[in-house]
Amino acid sequence: MLHNLKVIVVLPAYRAAKTVEKTYRDLPLDIVDEVLLVDDAGGDETAEISKRLGIKTILHRKNLGYGGNQKTCYYEALLAGADIVVMVHPDYQYDPRLVSAMAAMVASGVYDAVLGSRIGTARQGGMPIWKYIANRSLTAIENIMLGTKLTEFHTGYRAFSRKVLYSLPLLANSDDFVFDNQMIAQAAAFKFRIGEISCPAKYFSEASSINFRRSVTYGLGVLLTSLQYRLWKWSMAKPRIFNDNPASRIDSRNAATRQVESVVASE
């Protein structure tokens, strides 16, 4: 715990059998109260390894996508009583040891959400040049459109307060990779305080990474999200992802029904 706040780490997994144990071993378990892994029907040994390590493990009946995996992660973490939730990719691309610092930034009450920014060390860690240029370009556009000053919008290393996860209409978001970006845009729209911490990232064969085609799709989704935000801000449109609809929140009946339909097993 931190400041008497329950910290839960969620691991959205898809074929992470080669790296999940290393990720788990490097977590600061002295401050983490619980670790929860959601296997998105990856079909490898990730779930078996996770259970052996004593991690609470949840299996999807079918692949729901990266965003769909996160929806389950946050639902289950809140159900378990989390005050702070830190998402760590179990492919060991991000350093798990920074969980303590990120959780502490939320526990302090200074920030509602914290992002692990790769930008300072991205190229040294092996980020392909085309990804780096796309990352910087999209981030610049988003800062202009959303009125923010973040160094990176595209990191998968994040920490959130319980209030953020309960307040945002997460069920209205995509089940694909653009979920990450929509969530930051929602946090900005709902005026939550977003902090950042520098985080080294590694690129290697076992680390998950989307290909060029999926990256283009993601990039277009990012631009659409930024445009939707600006139109919503100008009262020219009412995109679902920015509507404060209780049915789109993770604690709604819709979320509970989705869990029953999507989860096949939990241990």
Give yes or no for residue 90 having a pLDDT over 90: yes
Confirm whether 2 is domain-assigned.
Answer: no
* CB contact burial 219-236 (16+ within 10 A = b; e otherwise): bebbeebbebbeebeeee
Confirm whether 179 is domain-assigned.
Answer: yes
Per-residue model confidence as pLDDT tens digits over 21-38:
999 999 999 999 999 999
Confirm whether 95 is domain-assigned.
Answer: yes
Confirm whether 220 is domain-assigned.
Answer: yes
Confirm whether 195 is domain-assigned.
Answer: yes
Counting the structural domains of the chain, the total is: 1
Give yes or no for residue 95 having a pLDDT over 60: yes
The per-residue pLDDT of the chain, averaged, comes to: 93
Confirm whether 1 is domain-assigned.
Answer: no
Residue whose structure tokens are 């492919």: 91
Give yes or no for residue 50 having a pLDDT over 60: yes
CATH number of the domain encompassing residue 49:
3.90.550.10
Q: Mean pLDDT lowest for which of 72-86, 223-237, 250-264?
A: 250-264
CB atoms within 10 A of CB 18: 17
Confirm whether 258 is domain-assigned.
Answer: yes
Contact call for residues 140 and 38 (beta carbons, < 8 A):
no
Largest interatomic CA distance in the chain: 52
d(CA 58, CA 263): 7
DSSP class of 23: H
Confirm whether 121 is domain-assigned.
Answer: yes
Q: What percent of the chain has pLDDT over 90?
A: 84
Cα distances (angstroms) measured from residue 110 to each of 105, 114, 132, 181, 189: 7, 10, 29, 22, 18
Give yes or no for residue 129 having a pLDDT over 90: no
Range of the domain at 125: 7-266
Q: Identify the bridge partners of residue 52 per DSSP, sorted by sequence position.
A: none
3-state secondary structure 42-82: CCCCHHHHHHHCCCEEEEECCCCHHHHHHHHHHHHHHHCCC
d(CA 261, CA 267): 17
Per-residue model confidence as pLDDT tens digits over 157-166:
999 999 999 9
Per-residue model confidence as pLDDT tens digits over 173-228:
999 999 999 999 999 999 999 999 999 887 755 555 567 788 899 999 999 999 99
Q: Which residue has the higher pLDDT, 135 or 56?
A: 56
